């Protein structure tokens, strides 16, 4: 059997790795990597466009269990209403180039900050405007850890961070509030909470840990040099693990562990070819917790995914081709039965989607039109392609059987007799026939197999190809 294998785009012939894995989610397959469907992006019915390009977002859970989604633009903070329209909660902001509004849910408040406008708070339980927090630093970013707020790049000093009093985001001088100006490692970029009373600070050229074992900030320590973050948008964390983009590749750190170079020898070279260094600052990281995937949005139409639970925890990469302007997540309200018929007429969403379960977080995005959409549709169009497989004799093939379940995918085989000439692909794809095999006609010393499906049809898995019917044509 020829397995698709883990996606490593530059691994080369006979490597056993997939050359392309786009629109398909990696999964375990008898000791190897196979693939399954990933749902497509579906625009919410009646969704209105965010007023301008997104510059920060946060999904929060209120005390009553419902969720709210906030997005910032250069001049506003807006909340997503239940009918997918937007309402301003703040206007007149003046973001600087390269910065976003950083937001944290802290108690009853949406605390928000940027270096130009300073720190403000908005009571999400009993709204009464977005108000300045007196005495707080004007910080480029904030996050919470161990019931404190941590603010970085404060008051024009990009190497200074400060912590609030425990449980009080309005106190930044007394009651255990703390701070430090770092002497090396470059500008502070972002940070996030981990586990075990530890947080992570990412600088331009260093990674630091923050120790909260004493309640408030107890101390800070350097974890690594040379693995800092290229930008705040490129970093995210989930369940005690942080992910980010450094100038030398994709990184991961779990509380108490070292910096892991998860893209090294796998996708770092490919990543560098996709994103120019001057565009690193626009790469956005987001988490799909249900499918255990961290995504990096590389461009308006390309996502890079990392399924962290596979390969014994080493993870597996894939790509997705989908038009977005920002990534996010939110939970949705359950659909009332008396609205069911109307809803089904308006949506292209499978009936078993988490969208219908009510208050279940789903991975979401703003689509190309800046309208709210969720990854809850039918499967994405996908392409899987093996590495080049070389044989000492010319192979003549007529049949093969995909180890897959689903009628939609189609197949073709590319060939060459000389690796220097590249693979020649037939224009047409063939489908499975009654016995599950695919009729094909190909000849060459080097072959490459591709599975392609451009319709939103159901499929369950695809592990590779088996049962070739072929004969040898002699040495070449």
Written as six digits, the tokens of 390 are 């070389």
Q: pLDDT class for 29, splitting at 50, 70, 90?
A: confident
State whether the Cα torsion 140-322-345-456 is positive or negative: negative
**β-pair type (32-37, 24-29):** antiparallel
Between residues 391 and 447, the one the model is more confident about: 447
Domains belonging to the chain, first-starting first, are 2-38+381-475 (2.60.120), 41-378 (2.130.10.10)
Mean pLDDT on 117-130: 96
Half-sphere exposure of 388 (CA within 13 A, CB side): 21
Average pLDDT, the chain: 90
Q: pLDDT class for 9, splitting at 50, 70, 90?
A: very high
As a whole number of angstroms, the distance between CA 156 and CA 50 comes to 30
pTM of the model: 0.91
What is the pLDDT at residue 448? 95
Q: What percent of the chain has pLDDT over 70?
A: 91
223: left (phi over 0), alpha (psi -120 to 50) or beta: alpha
Q: What percent of the chain has pLDDT over 90?
A: 80
As a whole number of angstroms, the distance between CA 353 and CA 87 comes to 27
Mean pLDDT on 202-213: 96
Q: pLDDT class for 347, splitting at 50, 70, 90?
A: very low
Q: pLDDT class for 344, splitting at 50, 70, 90?
A: very low
Between residues 394 and 451, the one the model is more confident about: 451
As a whole number of angstroms, the distance between CA 150 and CA 162 comes to 6
Mean pLDDT on 78-101: 93
pLDDT tens figures, 33-49: 999 999 999 999 999 99
What is the pLDDT at residue 351? 37
Residue 299 has pLDDT above 70, yes or no: yes
What is the pLDDT at residue 391? 76
What is the pLDDT at residue 331? 46
What is the pLDDT at residue 329? 63
State whether the Cα torsion 224-265-36-234 is positive or negative: positive
pLDDT tens figures, 214-244: 889 999 999 999 889 999 999 999 999 999 9
Determine contact, residues 186/203, Cβ cutoff 8 Å: yes
333-to-289, 352, 357, 362 alpha-carbon distances in Å:
19, 15, 8, 11
Mean pLDDT on 150-178: 97
Residue 476 has pLDDT above 70, yes or no: no
Mean pLDDT on 356-378: 83
Written as six digits, the tokens of 293 are 């995937």
Residue 459 has pLDDT above 50, yes or no: yes
Residue 302 has pLDDT above 70, yes or no: yes
Please state the φ and ψ torsions of residue 62, each to the nearest 5 degrees: -75, 170
Residue 340 has pLDDT above 70, yes or no: no
233: left (phi over 0), alpha (psi -120 to 50) or beta: alpha
Residue 63 has pLDDT above 90, yes or no: yes
Q: Which residues pair with 393 in a beta bridge?
A: 475
């Amino acid at each position: 059997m020829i397995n698709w294998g883990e996606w490593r785009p530059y691994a080369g012939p006979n490597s056993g790795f997939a050359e392309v894995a786009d629109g398909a989610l990696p999964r375990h397959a008898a000791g190897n990597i196979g693939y399954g469907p990933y749902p497509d992006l579906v625009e919410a019915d009646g969704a209105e466009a965010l007023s301008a390009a997104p510059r920060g977002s946060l999904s929060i859970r209120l005390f009553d269990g419902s969720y709210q989604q906030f997005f910032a633009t250069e001049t506003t903070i807006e909340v997503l209403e239940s009918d997918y329209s937007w309402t301003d909660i703040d206007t007149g902001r003046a973001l600087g180039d390269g910065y976003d509004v950083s937001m944290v849910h802290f108690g009853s408040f949406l605390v928000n900050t940027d270096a130009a406008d300073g720190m403000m708070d908005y009571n999400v339980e009993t709204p009464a405007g977005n108000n300045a927090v007196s005495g707080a630093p004007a910080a480029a970013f904030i996050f919470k850890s161990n019931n404190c707020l941590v603010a970085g790049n404060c008051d024009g000093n990009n190497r200074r961070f400060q912590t609030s009093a425990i449980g009080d985001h309005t106190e930044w001088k007394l009651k255990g509030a703390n701070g430090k100006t770092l002497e090396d490692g470059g500008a502070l970029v972002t940070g996030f909470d981990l586990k075990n009373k530890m947080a992570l600070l990412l600088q331009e050229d260093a990674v630091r840990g923050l120790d909260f074992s004493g309640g408030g900030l107890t101390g800070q320590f350097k974890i690594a040099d040379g693995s800092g973050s290229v930008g705040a948008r490129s970093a995210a964390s989930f369940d005690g693990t942080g992910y980010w983009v450094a100038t030398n590749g994709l990184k991961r750190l779990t509380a108490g562990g070292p910096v892991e170079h998860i893209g090294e020898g796998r996708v770092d070279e490919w990543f560098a070819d996709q994103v120019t260094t001057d565009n690193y600052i626009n790469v956005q990281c987001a988490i799909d917790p249900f499918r255990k995937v961290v995504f990096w949005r590389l461009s308006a139409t390309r996502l890079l995914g990392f399924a962290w639970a596979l390969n014994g925890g080493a993870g597996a990469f894939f790509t997705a081709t989908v038009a977005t302007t920002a990534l996010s997540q939110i939970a949705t309200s359950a659909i009332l039965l008396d609205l069911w018929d109307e809803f089904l007429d308006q949506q292209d969403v499978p009936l078993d989607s988490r969208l219908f379960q009510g208050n279940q977080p789903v991975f979401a995005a703003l689509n190309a039109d800046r309208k709210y959409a969720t990854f809850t549709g039918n499967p994405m169009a996908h392409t899987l392609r093996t590495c080049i497989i070389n044989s000492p004799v010319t192979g003549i093939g007529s049949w093969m059987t995909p180890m897959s379940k689903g009628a939609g995918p189609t197949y073709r085989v590319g060939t060459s007799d000389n690796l220097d000439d590249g693979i020649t692909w037939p224009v047409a794809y063939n489908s499975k026939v009654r016995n599950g095999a695919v009729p094909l006609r190909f000849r060459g010393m080097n072959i490459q197999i591709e599975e392609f499906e451009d319709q939103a049809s159901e499929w369950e898995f695809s592990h590779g190809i088996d049962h070739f019917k072929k004969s040898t044509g002699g040495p070449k």
